[in-house]
Amino acid sequence: MSDSEMLKTAEAEVKRLEAELAATTAYQKLQLAKQVVELYRGTRPLEVTRGPRDEYKGFGAKIIERSDLTKAMRIERAARKFLNARGRRATASEMLEIMRLDGIEITGAEPVKALSAYLSNSKILNNVREFGGYGLVDWGNNKGPDLLTKTGA
C-alpha cells in the first residue's frame, strides 16, 4: 500500500469514527465543553457545528452569544438598550426594574447598591449625579444625547 493510499484509508477511518461519535450525546457534550473553554480563553466565539439548535437542548445545552457570557455583560447590554430608548440618564434604582424585566437577577441585601456596583465598573457607562445618574460614556458629561442635537452644537 502506497503512502497516498494509506493516508486516504486513515482519513476515511477518521471521518467514519467522527460521524459515529458525533451521533452520541457524550461527544456533543465534549464539543460544547471545548467551546466553553475556548470562549473563556477568548480564542474563538461559540459555534454550533452540527444540526439545528433544538438537537442540543436534549442534554441541557444552552446556546449563548458571546455578549451573554457574564452577568456584567448582560447588565451593560440592558442598560445601554434602556438608556438609548430613554434618551437621558437614569439612576440605578430606575434601572433595577429594567434588569428584572430583562431576566437579570440582582441579588444581595440591597439590590440597588449591587446594581450600582456593576454599573460603576462598566466601561460604557458613567455616573454624573447632577445630571440624573448613569448614562452612556458616548454622551460625555451631558444629560443625554438629545442635548447635543437640540443646542445646535
Distances (CA, A) of 21 to 27, 31, 53, 63, 77: 6, 11, 18, 21, 38
pLDDT at residue number 59: 52
pLDDT at residue number 95: 94
Tens digit of each residue's pLDDT (9 = 90 or more) over 101-152: 988 999 889 999 999 999 999 999 999 988 889 999 988 887 887 554 544 4
Residue 29 and residue 142: Cα distance in Å, rounded? 49
pLDDT at residue number 22: 82
Domain boundaries, the chain: 3-66, 71-150
The neighbour count for residue 10, using CB atoms within 10 Å, is 10
What CATH architecture applies to the domain 71-150? Orthogonal Bundle (1.10)
pLDDT at residue number 96: 94
Tens digit of each residue's pLDDT (9 = 90 or more) over 51-71: 445 555 555 555 555 555 688
Tens digit of each residue's pLDDT (9 = 90 or more) over 26-52: 888 888 888 788 777 765 554 544 444
pLDDT at residue number 31: 82
Which three cell numbers, joined as nine digits, stand for 16? Answer: 467514519
